[in-house]
Amino acid sequence: MKHLPKHIRPRWRYLAVEIEAAPAAEIDRTAFQRALWYAAGNLLGDAGSADADLTVFGFTYADGIGEAIVRARREETAAARAALACIDSVDSEPIGLVVRGISGTVRACEESYLRDRSPHLVEEPVAFADDQRPAIRRDDVAELSLPEGFVAATELDFH
Amino acid sequence: MYEAVAAYPAGDSTVSRQARTAADYGYDGLVVRTREADFDADAIGDRYGIEVVRGIEVDAADPQSAAGAVGNYRPECSVLLVRGGTNARNRYAVETDRIDVLTRPMAGDGDFNHVLARAAKTHRVHVEFDFGPVLRASGGPRVQALQGLRKLRELIEQYDAPFVVSVTADSHRQLRAPRELRAVGEQIGFTADQITAGLEAWGEIVARNRNREDERFIEPGVRRGRYEP
């Protein structure tokens, strides 16, 4: 269909979202989009969810860290932020996320707020709670494998 | 602004991992609810620029055993929390001056009323708004949690009782930034200022208790000074 004249096009805002999950978690764009729609539908209702019109634009994710750009209507950024905060897991993988900032264009959003972090994982045992434990390390943080399950730690805990 | 979290061994992340994420999200401090957690507050503070405070959350079956635990743990920690969730525990917590925070009052069978709200104000016990189920539950349990928060909010507003806000995170992935919490709060009927006040109240409790632990402190408004050797 012919696109709308400029003055009656919807105004958008782009939210830069940083995502953090377990190093082994597999998350893709469709799964994140689905989780976002569910979160928005449950928190804002069908009407609010339709108003906010949340769409995942950019999505990069690898080995536990990722970034997404989420488009929302200009007047609904607060609702969009709230819906994002209510995503606690994607495909039953728990995720942490934070909105780094909001921009009027995708490019400004990428340039201002997204850092394009590299995962750079190293698998090596570390000393934790008086024992050597297998761990996956990235920078100063690590995901340790203990008998009772995975524990997230930083290098301050290694001794 | 402060947040209060459970840490390894009760949670899935160590104190330093929680502190790293909390500092990244813009919190000034972190209250650790787990008694067994082992951490070095100064090292974490130097590394990540966040104040880590030892708290203890007492989770007892009934008021009698809670009273014993309160007596034992009060000297060990800066913030003493008591888990609510039954009417007896809620009532015990809001009527005890030595307790700083009543957590999860509406969880399970717990309920709150005007008598408890008045008592909380009199005894200066902060009542916790638990945002955990709002962020992580769904369906019926979430609806019940929202109903509980609404009832609690109306009573707290009416009687001007002190309150704190927390997401009761067990892992650093469950933490959310203050701005996100304000946005969620506004969706469920809070004002942004209430959420900010609830997060700042943790810091006020810490400051108040530090002042009390000061050896020059005698009672509120009275300090050892020039004329008291």
Write the pLDDT tens digit of every residue in A45-63.
Answer: 999 999 999 999 889 988 8
**The sheet that has A131-138: what strands, in order across it?**
A122-128, A131-138, A141-146, A149-154
Which chain A residues are within 8 Å of B52, Cβ to Cβ? none
Q: Does B142 touch chain A (CB under 8 A)?
A: yes
User: Which residues in B lie closer than 8 A to residue A154 (C-beta atoms)?
Assistant: 14, 16-17, 20
B107-135: average pLDDT: 93
Nearest-Cα distance to chain B for A9, in Å, is 26
Q: What order do you get walking across the sheet with A12-21 strand by strand?
A: A55-62, A65-73, A12-21, A93-103, A89-90
A101 in contact with B, Cβ within 8 Å: no
Q: Does pLDDT of B189 surpass 80? A: yes
Whether B172 and chain A come into contact, CB under 8 Å, resolves to yes
Å from A79 to nearest chain B CA?
A: 7
Least confident of A36-50, A107-121, B98-112, B118-132: A107-121
Kindly state the average pLDDT of the residues B8-30: 91
Q: What is the mean pLDDT of residues A8-33?
A: 92
Q: What is the number of alpha carbons within 13 Å of residue B145 lying toward its C-beta?
A: 20
Contact criterion met (CB < 8 Å) for A85 and B138: no
Q: What distance in Å separates the CA atoms of residue A85 and residue B15, rounded to the nearest whole number? A: 22
Q: What is the CATH number of domain A10-113?
A: 3.30.70.3250
Q: Is A122 exposed, middle or buried (0-12, 13-18, 19+ CB in 10 A)?
A: exposed
Residue B229: predicted pLDDT: 61
pTM: 0.91
Give B186's pLDDT tier (boundaries 50, 70, 90): very high
Q: Do A85 and B176 touch (CB under 8 A)?
A: yes
A133 Cβ partners below 8 Å, 6+ apart? A125, A126, A127, A144, A145, A146
Average confidence score pLDDT of chain B: 91
Residue A86: its pLDDT value, please?
93
Residue type (1 letter), B83: R
Candidates B47, B175, B180; nearest CB to A81: B180
Domain ranges of chain A: 10-113, 122-157
Pick from B13, B24, B47: CB nearest A151: B13
Decide which of B219 and B46 is more confident: B46
pLDDT of residue B82: 93
Peptide bond between residue B9 and the one before it cis (omega within 30 degrees of 0):
yes
pLDDT at A150: 87
Q: Which domains does chain B have, with CATH numbers?
A: 2-213 (3.20.20.140)
Contact B184 A86 (CB under 8 A): yes
| Pairing mode, strands B2-5 and A149-154 | unpaired
User: At A115, is the pLDDT very low, low, confident or very high (cuts 50, 70, 90)?
Assistant: confident
ipTM for this model: 0.91
As given in the structure block, the two tokens for residue A97 are 């996320």
